Amino acid sequence: MSAKQHKILVVDDEPDILDLLEYNLSKEGYKVKTALDGRKAVNIAAKFAPDLILLDIMMPHQDGVETCRQLRENPDLYNTFIVFLTARSEEYSEVAAFDTGADDYITKPIKPRALMSRISALFRREAKKRKKNNKINVNGLSIDRSSYMVIVQDEQISLPKKEFELLYYLAQNPDKVHSRDELLQNIWGSDVYVLARTVDVHIRKVREKIGSNYIVTVKGVGYKFGGEE
């Protein structure tokens, strides 16, 4: 899918930043809409159906973390990328961002050329994933990459996007041990800075939903799919 076919929603309470990003994104061929706060963003996204949302964290009325949580509750936005924009660098912001379903995390001040490169990388990575084998069935667990559907013992389970990608990646390579760094590299990408703790949090959440016997912890190394703990 080319840039001209991608739609991007930019959410920030600073008009100057909205103007800067709208100008640069439009110049790259993206179709762009903007919102000055989280509440408006949720309403606009439901109608606009963006492929990607650039979302500020620190906003009045409703912050970016809560806005992201609400956006991820809309099934029509399940495949939408959400990239946080913030001047904050605390660990809390990063962990909260990914816990609510963010795909990337970029700190201000924003460098337009670097941002365009990051957005292009997200779309390229998604296109490559779609070309791979889309279905995995093992030990009562069914994972369908094309529909983001997970079924465990005939029960459909809903997983946020990053939790799904993590499970799918592990299941593609059963019995192979993956380090946290490898999982960060392949699920979040090399140009996204996140903590190793983010992997642990996502693994814990996946286990809570599908059962603890599908993902094994190998102490001091990482995680693998298959077997009993």
Q: Same domain, yes or no, for 147 and 104? A: no
Report the CATH number at residue 185.
1.10.10.10
Domain range for 73 is 3-129
pTM to 2 decimal places: 0.64
Report the CATH number at residue 46.
3.40.50.2300
Candidate ranges 18-27, 118-127, 166-175; pick with highest mean pLDDT: 18-27
Residue ending a domain, among 94, 129, 164, is 129
Residue 10 clears pLDDT 50, i.e. is over it:
yes
Q: How many domains does the chain have?
A: 2
- Per the DSSP assignment, residues forming a β-bridge with 22 are none
Is-contact 103 78, C-beta < 8 A? no
Residue 82, phi then psi, degrees to nearest 5: -125, 120
B/e letters for 63-79, b = 16+ CB within 10 Å, e = fewer, are bbbbbbebbbeeeebbe
pLDDT band at residue 179 under the 50/70/90 scheme: very high
Please tell me the predicted confidence (pLDDT) of residue 133.
57
pLDDT digits 0-9 by tens, 85-142: 887 665 556 667 777 788 888 888 888 998 998 898 888 877 666 555 578 888 889 9
Q: Same domain, yes or no, for 48 and 104? A: yes
